[in-house]
């Protein structure tokens, strides 16, 4: 991985995953609903994780000399040829980002729970595959 921009994306994504994990531990819906600052932190961090994942997918597509599609979901899905099925599991995260920016309390809470319980592991697997591909 020679490109400093790619290194920055990977480092940022790892940092955001760790931050989200730390901030979301033990949080209940009541905590989320009553604490505006916490809600904004979790929503913004979820958004950053998805955007960094999309940026990473774009870097993988560039290395593979493939076209970078226009939508976040399609960008991630397009990496399936080079990153395998982890792209299929990661692509739905784009929907979380689109829902989160509209700030619907119940939907955002559902998205925070998903990311905390399953999504971070999916992103970490995708990140690992992307790192391996970009180093090769």
| pLDDT at residue 1 is higher than 60 | no
Residue 103 is predicted with a pLDDT of: 65
| pLDDT at residue 27 is higher than 70 | yes
Measure CA of the first residue to CA of the last residue in the chain; give whole Å: 8
| pLDDT at residue 114 is higher than 70 | yes
CB atoms within 10 A of CB 8: 12
The average pLDDT across 39-68 equals 95
CB hemisphere CA count around 75 (13 angstroms):
19
**CB 10, CB 127: distance < 8 Å:** yes
Residue 82 Cα to chain centre, angstroms: 18
Which structural domain range is residue 18 located in? Answer: 4-135
Distance from C-alpha of 83 to C-alpha of 4, rounded to nearest angstrom: 21
Distance from C-alpha of 36 to C-alpha of 54, rounded to nearest angstrom: 27
The CATH number of whichever domain residue 99 belongs to comes to 1.20.120
| pLDDT at residue 22 is higher than 60 | yes
Token look-up 């939508």 returns 71
Which is higher by pLDDT, 107 or 81?
Answer: 81
Average pLDDT, the chain: 92
Is residue 2 very low, low, confident or very high in pLDDT (cuts 50, 70, 90)? low
Q: Is the dihedral of CA 86, 12, 108, 103 positive or negative?
A: negative
The number of folded domains in the chain is 1
Task: Give helix then strand counts, H and E, for the chain.
Answer: 9, 0
């Amino acid at each position: 991985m020679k490109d400093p921009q790619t290194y920055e994306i990977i480092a940022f994504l790892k940092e955001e995953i760790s931050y989200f994990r730390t901030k979301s531990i033990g949080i209940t819906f009541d905590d989320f609903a009553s604490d505006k600052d916490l809600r904004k932190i979790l929503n913004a961090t979820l958004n950053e994780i998805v955007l960094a994942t999309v940026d990473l997918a774009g870097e993988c597509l560039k290395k593979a000399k493939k076209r970078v599609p226009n939508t976040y979901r399609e960008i991630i899905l397009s990496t399936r040829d080079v990153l395998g099925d982890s792209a299929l599991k990661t692509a739905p995260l784009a929907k979380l980002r689109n829902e989160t920016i509209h700030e619907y309390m119940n939907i955002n809470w559902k998205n925070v729970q998903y990311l905390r319980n399953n999504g971070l592991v999916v992103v970490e697997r995708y990140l690992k595959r992307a790192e391996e591909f970009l180093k090769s």
